[in-house]
Structure 1
């Protein structure tokens, strides 16, 4: 596995800054496709969809404490992915990382 360039690292870091960063990362990665950046984009897509799912569960009446606990788990998973981007590594997000990579492999 090749060491990512500084542009790839920067794009992967930007990807972790909310949905807007994800969109910017997708646009930046579109013209010059990088497997390293795509890896982090796939992680962030999964994490964003997880937050949307938690919002829907909260809206339908799932207890707030459960939702808050799951949000904390997502923040921890986000932190692991973000640290990987900062270090220029592909740190696998525990439990769901492989699922995210397999589910969004077309990106």
Structure 2
């Protein structure tokens, strides 16, 4: 796979991310585009998982929060779409609000 393909495949669920990461390991030389989007998509997945666990517990305690939780899920889907579009265009454009943090926090993806 080339770098651009790795970048957009990384946004296709956890399995897509794993396939992209394994393909990235075989990529020589390493691409900043692929690294960038592997970090961004990993950040979206980790954030989604953490919020899912937290919200799952909260909804049982405070049911009326489900409306706000729905809004947050929609925001995550919007971030996912923006990241995917950026990858398809071959751009290293950070996700709004969280993108720069994902690049700092997930430096272990090299």
Aligned counterparts of 1:18 and 1:83: Cα–Cα separation in 2: 15
Aligned counterparts of 2:83 and 2:4: Cα–Cα separation in 1: 12
Where in structure 1 are there 5+ consecutive unaligned residues?
1-5
Q: CA deviation at 1:92?
A: 1.1
The residue matched to 1:61 in structure 2 has which SS?
helix
Q: Which runs of 4+ in 1 moved over 6 A?
A: none
Worse-matched range after superposition: 59-68 or 74-83: 59-68
Where in structure 2 are there 5+ consecutive unaligned residues?
60-64
**1:23 aligned residue:** 18
- What TM-score results when the alignment is normalised by the length of structure 2? 0.86
- What TM-score results when the alignment is normalised by the length of structure 1? 0.88
What's the C-alpha RMSD, in Å, of the aligned pairs?
Answer: 1.3
**1:58 aligned residue:** 55
Larger RCO (alpha carbons 8 Å, 6+ apart) = 2
The structure with more radius of gyration: 2
